[in-house]
Structures are given as C-alpha cells and as structure tokens.
Amino acid sequence: MDAKVFMEALDEIEATKGISKQSVLEALKEALRKALEKNLFGGAYEGSDIRVEISEDPASIEMKYVRKIVEGEVEDDFLEISLEDANKNKKGKKYVAGDEYVQYIKPEEMARLTALTVKSVLRQKLAEAEKQNLYETHKDKIGEMITGTVEKCDDRGAIVNIGRSSLYLTRKDLIGDEMFDAGASVRLYVSDVSSGEQGKSPMVKVSRSDPGFLRRLFEEEVREIYDGTVIIKSLAREAGIRSKVAVYSNDPNVDSVGACIGVNGSAIQKIIAQLGNSRDKEKIDIISYSPNDYLFIIDALRPATVLKIGIYENEEGKKCATVIVPDGQSSLAVGRKGANVRVACKLTGYKIDILEESHEAEASVALKSVEQVQQEEKERAQKEKYENYLAKIKASRAEEVSNSATTAGVEKAKPQKILDEEIKEEVKSEEVKPLEEEKAPEVEETPVVKPTVVKTTTTLASLEASLESDKKKEEFKATQKTSKRPRKITEDEVKHEEEKEEVKKPLQPQMEIYTKEELEELENEELYEEDDYEDEEIDFDDFDKYYDDEN
C-alpha cells in the first residue's frame, strides 16, 4: 500500500466531509473487522476475536485472528485452541495454557467479496460519522436561522446543502407551492436536532413552514421586538395561507401593532417578501394582545366583525367560545378553507363556534355584546390602577415610619400596619377638596407684631432742654461750615457731579442702627462736647492753616 496515497485520501475525506482523520481510521478498522467475520473462511468465523490495527507512519494494515490457548478439552473451536495444537510445529519457546494464539491474515488473502463488504461498511460508517459531526455542529443552533444552497428541487421536496452536508426538505417543510432553482440561496429554520439515541442516527431537522421561522423574521426586521420593547405573546401559522401574531408593548408610549407594521408598511413588506415565491402570498394579521380572553378572541377573528361573544367550558374541560357575527360575514370569519378560524383557535387556545346574527337563538351560552366587554375591561383597568395606587401609598407610608424610627436612634421597628379603609378615607378626603382650593396659591401669613409699650419718666422741662441743645448743636455746625475756607471747584468737577446726580439711583431704605434710647445718649454726649467748645475761644486761623497744609 502506498502510504502517501493513503494519507492524501484521508486528508481529502477530512476536508470535504468534515470528519476527523482518526474517525476515518476507526471506521476503516470496523469495516475490515466485520468483513473478515462475515467472509473469511466461508463465514465460519463470525463473532470471533479478529483485531485490525492501522498505523499511519509507516502506512500499514495488520489483521490477526486471536484464540485462547486452553489445556485439555476445547469447548469452542472459534474462540479456543488446545495447548497441543498450539505448540505443534512451534519453534523456540512453547505456549502455556492461558496464552493467546495469534493467526495473522494478509490483505492479499482477502477475496473480492470481502473488499466489497469493506467498501459497503466503510461507506455506512462514514455516513454515521458525518451525521454525528453534523449533530455536534448544530446542536446549539435549535431555534436559529441558517442559510443553505439548493442542490435540487421538485414537487416532492428540496435538497439543500448547508456546508459539508446536505439536508432534505419535504413539501410540508416548504411554504405553499414554492419552487427554487439549483444554486439559489435559501434560509432555513432549525426546528430540532436529535442525538441519535436508541439506535437511531443523529438528525438535523430544518423547515420553512414552522411558526418559529416567522417569529425569527419578525425579530430580525422589527427593532422593537429585537430589543425587547415589544413582545410576541402568541403566534399561529398555516404556512402559505395565513398567520396571526399577537404582540404586546412593555412601553405605553410604543404602539406594538404600528411598530410591527413599520413606516408605510416597510417592516411587514420585508417579512412577506421572505415567505416564499408561491403564487398566493401568505397573509399576516398583527393584533394587539389582551389578557381579557373576550377581547383577545374578538381581535383574533379579524377581519370579521364580532357582535356578541360567550365563553364556556365543555364536558371535557376544554375552553370553548361562541361568536355572533353579522349576517353574511360567516364565510369571512371562517376564511378560505377554514384557515382564519383555525389559526384563531391556535392563537387563543379556544375552540371557536361562529354563528350569524339571525341564528343567535341557537347559542347555548350567555352572550355579551362587544360594548359590554369593553366597558368591563375599562372598569377592570381602573380598579387595577386604583389598587396599584393604594399599594404605592402603603409602601411610602411604611418607608416613612421605618426612616423616622432609624433617624431617631431607635431600633428599626416593624412597619405600621396600614388598613385599606384608612387609605381610602385619605384618598376620599383628597378627592372632596374643591377645585378652587387646589388652584388657589398659598399666601404666606404676615407675622403679627405686638406693640411695644415703653414707659418713660421724661418731663416737659427735660424735653425743652433737649430741644434747646439740638438748636445749639445746629448753630455750632453752621459756624464750623462757614468758618472753613472752601476750596475752589473747577467747571469739570461741577459737570462730573451733575452727571453723577442724573445717574444716581434712589437709595434703598436702610435699617435703623440705634434704638431710641441710644440716640438720646449720643445727643447728650454731643451736648456736653458743645458746652466745652462754648467756653473755649476757637482760633480759626489754626484750622485754616491745618487744612491748607493738608491740601
């Protein structure tokens, strides 16, 4: 055997099939062993201990038939050999009981039938190894999208190559009656990957008609669904005919239905374009999810108009609904080939019976009008909002109690139990307040100043004396002003002072610095000083000289 050719063949299988070289060698060993068991010596050695060893460097194949040496009588000729027969024609060291008797088989001794068996078994082992490798590659891709190339497509199905292996899609796995040309690129949804337990080979199942295929398209094309703002609560599909998608928005400012449709229908058109190339395009209904089963069923039956609806459970415990539609709209509610109502049943989980308005008497359940259902839902939403508000108030008050206990340096006490009646009374008292009181601005109350009563013992004579002292003071100030020789003022200074007076702003009222008693004391002190000045003769020439020197 040419070692170089053998190794090149192993490398080619590893590159094209994605199977490791070791796996190929193990498959070849198993094929040779089974071929020898079935065909060597007329098939008499099936189940015997036949060993095959293959070495890469140098390339060689060693096959041997092993039997156990026993002393005495031989029970199984295929597995055992007597000690006498083993030592017959034996040169050198003799065998002992318990040793292995090895009979080597040369590849040249293998017949053509054995070679064909080796080829068949090797092909089977390589296929199993390829499927196992396919399983290891795609076992983490369940629920994901992959891309393949069409090798062949006909009325029965299509063969798609996904890299190192090919997968077969039945007509049920395709969308409607779509057809593809050889070499066309196609997207597939990995719906299941089996590991090959219980004697079955590993298998990867892909589809284009699975509801998960449509879900993935919405996640790719609608940004709000991808980032989690909008959630697909339920999805039902009959590939190639009609699909219904119920969506819900976590953000009250985001319209879930509008986000899925896109600007001018751009998002939904991209999704429909990827749903096959059949003659009749698949119709997609996007509805807003509601926890109210009545409203959910009403929206699920679109485009039909629902007048009345009733919900009940049958004898088997299954959820059922009876719907009344206007006369002439039963076919619209049922849909083409019953697809609309079937998809609505899958979406909501209810078995839906449709009756026209003229046959309303045949209904065996209490019916509610759409207006009544909407009013009940509105009241329920208001009640839920009110309960959430009460719970919020409870939590805030309990937090205030715990914070006050903590700041006071006391051990944290248990939150005060707040009764619903107390909160309801508090809410009612807030609601009873008139609108005018709420809108009226708060006016700060001016503090009331209590009049201060001052008791004095001042007589009229003392008041006259104080007035006389004030008069003398003014006269003294006048004499001082006249006695000082004024400085000559220039015309520029006069203009500057006039400009200052024009720009001068009115002074703000200042606070009184001294009280009335302190002012009287200051006046008395000045009066004493004036009396001292009256007794003295003032030399005004000294004053003039002082100011001239200073200037």
Residue 550 has pLDDT above 80, yes or no: no
What's the CATH architecture for 139-207?
Beta Barrel (2.40)
Confidence at residue 478, expressed as pLDDT on a 0 to 100 scale = 59
pLDDT digits (tens, 9 = 90+) for 165-175: 888 999 999 99
| Cis status of the peptide bond prior to 58, with omega within 30 of 0 | yes
Q: What is the pLDDT of residue 480?
A: 54
Q: What is the pLDDT of residues 268-326, one digit of tens each?
A: 999 998 988 777 888 999 999 999 999 999 999 988 999 999 999 988 889 999 999 99
Query: For domain 3-129, which architecture applies?
Result: 2-Layer Sandwich (3.30)
Question: Domain limits of the chain?
Answer: 3-129, 139-207, 211-374
Quote the pLDDT of residue 372. 92
**Quick check: 487 and 551 in contact, CB under 8 A?**
yes
Q: Which of 63-72, 117-126, 245-254 is the most confident on average? A: 245-254
> What gap in Å lies between CA 461 and CA 443, rounded to an integer?
50
Domain 211-374: give its CATH code.
Answer: 3.30.300.20
Q: What is the C-alpha to C-alpha distance for residues 142 and 347, in angstroms, rounded to an integer?
A: 23
Q: What percent of the chain has pLDDT over 90?
A: 29
Please check whether residue 79 is in contact with residue 67, taking contact to mean a CB–CB distance below 8 angstroms: yes
The three-state (H, E, C) secondary structure of 357-391, written as one string: HHHHHHCCCCCEEHHHHHHHHHHHHHHHHHHHHHH
Rounded average pLDDT over 527-543: 54
In the prediction, which pLDDT does 490 show? 63
- Token pair 């060689």 is found at 60
Question: How does pLDDT run across 242-268, given as a tens digit for each residue?
Answer: 999 999 999 989 999 999 999 988 999
Asked if domains 3-129 and 211-374 share a fold, the reply is: no
Q: What is the pTM of this model?
A: 0.59
Mean pLDDT of the chain: 77
Q: How far apart, in whole angstroms, are the C-alpha atoms of residue 247 and residue 287?
A: 6
- Residue 422 tokens read as 């107390």
Q: How confident is the model at residue 548 (pLDDT cuts 50, 70, 90)?
A: low
Nearest-angstrom CA–CA distance, 141 and 201: 18
Of 86, 107, 103, 104, which is closest to residue 95 (Cα–Cα)? 86
- 466 vs 530: CA distance, rounded Å: 13
Q: Is 147 helix (H, G, I), strand (E, B) or coil?
A: strand
CB 269 within 8 A of CB 232: no
